[in-house]
């Protein structure tokens, strides 16, 4: 049995899980009178696949939006890489190395797959506006470097065949994959996936699971994902947070969570007698 | 060759040149509409303002001279120097960037996520404000704009066509210059949006705000950039129209001619703005020439709008616009 409280440990399949990269402390988020998240704390460790699960309306997506800066919580602290996050805009969070996908897919529909993935490199591009306009040599060299990285990711996610296709024409499952590619292109320190398997058929779900595992394994990317499909999550993740009605009702390895009475009640319902 | 045909050709060529100027104004609309979904009613006034600022700076006018003189009882009008045209253009471009920043800081930023109609109303307000502000700053008199662009009939074309057809075409040098400048501007814009980091970010913002934020694009920066570019396009349009017919209030009304151009070309398409401008330019000149005499003339005033109306009925998205598909 591995000691999960240690500074770092090696999982059964040989991946190294490091120290805490992101910590949420007593987060509370309200929309007017509705409390979407109530006093939740948890951490994400470097190199792990961390899942947040819960029934519909549990506040999972809100939590992901807090992490990615789209929502600012009323109470609590967000710590990333040992630093407390000040009030921040989503684009600033992205520049810190946190990439994300969206539940309802937010791609640039009019642009090609390649261009979409290239936008993921924007935070990594150094050349300024004037230099791009006047000094073509350097800008061009930089563009080529980024293209190489992007092509690698495109190969990795097996979307070479549709590189030049406008995203608007792709089927749903492929769009999800392109969105993942764009997030990966930023070489993020933390990758947030909002329901990566939502609305997919069994085959697409299997593909996506494989890609998530491969990304984590190959690039060592820390992943935090949201799902309501329990089965998928249990196979994928190292540790799981369970939310229900905005509260945290469980936190631990998939096995621990599976045997947690509060979790079973939340998912299967409980007899009121 | 029959004379009638030669005349029609000459009219068509002149129409093309006029169309280029319509296209220039329409281009400014498309840029802002694509990036922020705002229909910028003030685009025409921006052209007027840019042209007035250019003339003012070049001639060394003291800004707000009338206001200063009234309040302090002084009598200042000019600094006494004249700037080189290129320096005046550069400074005016700087003023347009500053203007873009002010618009973003004091208007757009406070209206994020408001319905389109609110933003549209805001730009109407902006247009009237700028009109008055420009008058206050530089005076309301009609100014001549002269930055050394060639003017008058192009002798070479006149001579060549005369030798070929026995009839010399009248093409204004200024129109030729405008066409060349407009073509360069469009090429530069396309290169910028396709091949630079900021251009890609601009297209990204135009496509999806949320996704743009998630890849680390600052919407504010892009909006300032887009309004600056639109300001620069307005400056070019202002120079060309100003050199042609003087810098005066009616310059801001050319924006209204850009509307049918946009309906034809589509509000979201840069090539659409250009092709739309050319079609309207050629169409209204040819129509006036061929049909005008039979129905009492003055068709140029309404031809563009009727053409746009027909397009609205049969192809509401324009020639190049995105097709509107509603899913049920």
Give how far B216 is from chain A: nearest CA, Å: 4
Spatial contact of B180 and B239, defined as CB atoms under 8 Å apart: no
Geometric angle at alpha carbon B209, from B97 and A67, rounded to 5° = 115
CA angle A120, A124, A126 (to 5 degrees): 135
Q: Which residues contact B318 (CB under 8 A, 6 or more apart)?
A: B262, B263, B264, B265, B266, B267, B269, B272, B276, B311
CB distance A37 to A73 below 8 Å: yes
| Mean predicted lDDT score pLDDT of chain A | 87
Print the domain residue range for A216.
Answer: 9-268
**Is residue A273 a part of any domain in this protein?**
no
Query: Taking chain A, what is the end-to-end CA distance rounded to the nearest angstrom?
Result: 39
What residues of chain A lie within 8 A of the CB of B211, using their CB? 102, 106-108
Number of domains composing chain B: 1
Which chain B residue has its CA at the smallest distance from A139's CA? Answer: B196
Give yes or no for residue A2 having a pLDDT over 60: no
Nearest residue to A49 (alpha-carbon basis) of A218, A195, A177, A190: A190
Q: Does any CB of chain B come closer than 8 Å to the CB of residue A138?
A: no
CB-CB under 8 Å, A91 with B217: yes
Domain assignment of residue B323, yes or no: no
Model confidence over A92-110: pLDDT tens digits?
999 999 999 998 889 998 8
CA-based nearest residue in chain B for residue A188: B215
> What is the count of residue pairs from A and B with beta carbons less than 8 Å apart?
82
| CATH, residue B12 | 1.10.3470
- The answer to whether A99 contacts B213, with C-beta atoms less than 8 Å apart, is no
Chain A residue numbers with beta carbons less than 8 Å from the beta carbon of B215 are 94, 99, 119-120, 122-123, 182, 186
Domain of B260 in residue numbering reads as: 3-314
Calculate mean pLDDT across residues B120-128. 92
A225-246 burial, b if ≥16 CB within 10 A, otherwise e?
A: bbbbebebbbebbbbbbbbbeb
- From the number of C-beta atoms within 10 Å of its C-beta (0-12, 13-18, 19+), residue B19 rates as buried
**What ipTM describes this predicted complex?**
0.83
Per the domain annotation, does B57 fall within a domain?
yes
Nearest to A102 among B201, B204, B210 (CB): B210
CB contact residues (below 8 A), chain A span 163-222, against chain B:
182-183, 186
Higher-pLDDT residue of B103 and A2 is: B103
CA distance B260 to chain A (A): 25
CA distance B198 to B182: 22
Q: Does a structural domain hold residue B158?
A: yes
Question: Is B288 a domain residue?
Answer: yes
Q: What CATH number is given to the structural domain containing A189?
A: 3.40.50.300
> A21: which residues sit within 8 A by CB, 6+ positions away?
A44, A45, A46, A80, A81, A189, A190, A222
Assess if residue A255 is contained within a domain: yes
Q: What is the pLDDT of residues B60-81, one digit of tens each?
A: 888 888 888 888 888 777 777 8
Of A107, A115, A122, the CB nearest to B216: A122
Number of domains in chain A: 1
pLDDT tens for B163-188 read 887 777 888 888 888 888 888 888 88
| Closest-CA distance of chain B to residue A169, Å | 13
CB contact under 8 A, B211 and A132: no
Least trusted range by pLDDT, from B82-96, B165-179, B222-236, B302-316: B165-179
Residue-wise pLDDT for B193-215, tens only, equals: 877 888 888 888 888 888 898 89
A103 CB within 8 Å of a chain B CB: no
The pLDDT value given to residue A3: 57
Average pLDDT over residues B149-170: 80
A118 touching B (Cβ < 8 Å): yes
Alpha carbon distance A229, A231 (integer Å): 6
> Does the structure show a pLDDT above 80 at A158?
yes
Distance separating alpha carbons of residues A75 and A221, to the nearest angstrom: 29
- A155 to chain B nearest CA, in Å? 21
Q: Which residues of B touch A106 (CB under 8 A)?
A: 208, 210-211, 214
Would residue B14 count as lying in a domain? yes
Q: Tell me if B121 is assigned to some domain.
A: yes
The answer to whether residue A187 is domain-embedded is yes
Q: What is the pLDDT of residue A135?
A: 60
Specify the pLDDT at position A113: 93
Whether residue A64 is contained in a domain is answered as: yes
For residue A3, is it within any domain?
no
- Interchain pair B201, A122: CB under 8 A: yes
Residue A27 — very low, low, confident or very high, per pLDDT cuts 50/70/90? Answer: very high
Averaged pLDDT, A166-195: 92
A195 domain-assigned: yes
Average pLDDT for chain B: 85
| A1, pLDDT greater than 60 | no
Q: Do B215 and A122 touch (CB under 8 A)?
A: yes
| Region of residue A57 (left: phi > 0; alpha: psi -120 to 50; beta: else) | left
Backbone angles phi and psi of A166, in degrees to 5: -65, 135
Q: Does A67 lie at the interface with B, CB-CB under 8 angstroms?
A: no
Band of residue A48 on the pLDDT scale cut at 50, 70, 90: very high
Mutation site for B-interface testing, chosen from A72, A101, A106 by largest number of B Cβ within 10 Å:
A106
pLDDT of residue A153: 92
Nearest CA in chain B to A138: B196
Q: Does A109 touch chain B (CB under 8 A)?
A: yes
The confidence score (pLDDT) of residue A271 equals 66
- Tell me if B301 is assigned to some domain: yes
Residue A51's pLDDT band, with cuts at 50, 70 and 90, is very high
* Chain A residues whose beta carbon lies within 8 Å of the beta carbon of residue B197: 122, 125, 127, 132, 139
Average pLDDT over residues B269-288: 89
CB contact (8 A) between residue A111 and residue B207 = yes
* Strands lying side by side in the sheet with A190-194: A98-100, A190-194, A222-227, A49-53, A239-244, A247-252
Contacts of B214 in chain A (CB under 8 A): 68, 90, 94, 99-100, 102, 106, 183
Mean of the pLDDT values across residues B103-131? 87
For range A175-198, the mean pLDDT:
92
Q: Is there a contact between B192 and A133 if contact means CB atoms under 8 Å apart? A: yes
Residues on chain B bordering chain A, Cβ-to-Cβ distance under 8 angstroms: 192, 195-198, 200-201, 203-204, 206-208, 210-219, 225, 322
Q: What is the pLDDT of residue A144?
A: 85
User: Would you say residue A132 lies in a domain?
Assistant: yes
pLDDT at A80: 92
Task: With respect to residue A1, please indicate whether it lies within any of the assigned structural domains.
Answer: no
Reported confidence tier of residue B1, pLDDT bands at 50, 70, 90: low
Please report the pLDDT score of residue B92 as a whole number. 92
pLDDT band at A240 (very low <50, low <70, confident <90, very high): very high
Cross-chain Cβ contact B211/A108 below 8 Å? yes
Nearest CA in chain A to B192: A133
Top-ranked range on mean pLDDT: pick from B122-126, B166-170, B316-320:
B122-126
Q: A136 to chain B: nearest residue by CA?
A: B196
**What's the confidence (pLDDT) of residue B119?**
87
């Amino acid at each position: 049995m591995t000691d999960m409280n240690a500074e770092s440990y090696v999982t059964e399949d040989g991946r190294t899980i490091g120290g805490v990269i992101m910590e949420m402390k007593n987060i509370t988020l309200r929309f007017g009178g509705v409390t979407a998240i109530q006093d939740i704390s948890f951490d994400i460790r470097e190199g792990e696949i961390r899942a947040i699960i819960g029934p519909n309306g549990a506040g999972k997506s809100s939590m992901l939006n807090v992490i990615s800066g789209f929502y600012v919580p009323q109470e609590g602290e967000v710590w990333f890489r040992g630093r407390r996050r000040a009030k921040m805009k989503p684009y600033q969070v992205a520049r810190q190395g946190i990439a994300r996908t969206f539940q309802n897919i937010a791609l640039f529909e009019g642009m090609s797959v390649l261009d979409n993935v290239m936008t993921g490199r924007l935070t990594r591009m150094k050349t300024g506006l004037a230099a791009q306009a006047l000094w073509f040599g350097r800008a061009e060299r930089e563009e080529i470097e980024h293209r190489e990285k992007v092509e690698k990711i495109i190969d990795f996610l097996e979307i070479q065949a549709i590189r030049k296709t406008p995203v608007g024409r792709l089927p749903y499952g492929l769009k999800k994959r392109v969105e993942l590619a764009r997030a990966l292109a930023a070489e993020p320190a933390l990758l947030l996936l909002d329901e990566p398997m939502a609305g997919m058929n069994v085959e697409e779900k299997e593909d996506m699971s494989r890609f998530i595992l491969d990304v984590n394994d190959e690039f060592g990317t820390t992943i935090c994902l949201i799902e309501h499909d329990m089965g998928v999550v249990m196979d994928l993740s190292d540790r799981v947070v369970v939310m229900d009605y905005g509260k945290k009702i469980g936190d631990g390895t998939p096995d621990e969570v599976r045997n947690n009475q509060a979790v079973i009640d939340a998912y299967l319902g409980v007899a009121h007698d | 060759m029959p004379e009638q045909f030669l005349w029609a050709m000459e009219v068509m060529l002149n129409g093309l040149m006029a169309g280029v100027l319509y296209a220039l104004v329409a281009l400014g609309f498309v840029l802002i509409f694509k990036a922020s979904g705002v229909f910028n009613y003030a685009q025409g006034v921006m052209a007027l303002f840019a042209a007035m600022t250019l003339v003012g700076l070049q001639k060394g006018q003291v800004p707000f001279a009338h206001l200063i003189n009234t309040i302090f009882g002084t009598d200042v009008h000019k600094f006494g120097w004249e700037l080189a045209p290129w320096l005046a253009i550069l400074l005016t471009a700087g003023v347009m960037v500053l203007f873009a920043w002010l618009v973003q800081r004091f208007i757009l930023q406070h209206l994020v996520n408001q319905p389109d109609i609110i933003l549209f109303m805001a730009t109407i307000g902006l247009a009237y404000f700028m009109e008055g502000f420009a008058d206050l700053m530089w005076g309301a008199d009609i100014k001549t704009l002269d930055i050394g662009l060639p003017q008058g009939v192009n002798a070479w074309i006149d001579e060549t066509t005369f030798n070929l057809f026995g009839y010399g075409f009248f093409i204004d040098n200024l129109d030729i210059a405008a066409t060349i400048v407009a073509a360069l501007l469009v090429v530069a814009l396309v290169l910028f949006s396709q091949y630079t980091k900021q251009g890609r970010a601009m297209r990204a913002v135009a496509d999806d705000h949320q996704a743009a934020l998630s890849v680390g694009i600052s919407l504010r920066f892009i909006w300032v950039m887009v309004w600056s570019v639109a300001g620069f396009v307005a400056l070019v349009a202002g120079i060309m129209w100003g050199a042609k017919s003087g810098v005066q209030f009616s310059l801001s009304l050319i924006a209204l001619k850009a509307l049918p151009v946009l309906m034809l070309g589509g509000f979201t398409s840069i090539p659409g703005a250009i092709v739309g401008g050319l079609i309207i330019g050629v169409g209204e000149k040819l129509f006036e020439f061929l049909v005008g005499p039979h129905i009492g003339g003055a068709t140029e005033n309404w031809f563009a709008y009727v053409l746009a109306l027909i397009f609205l009925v049969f192809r509401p998205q324009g020639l190049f616009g995105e097709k509107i598909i509603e899913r049920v």
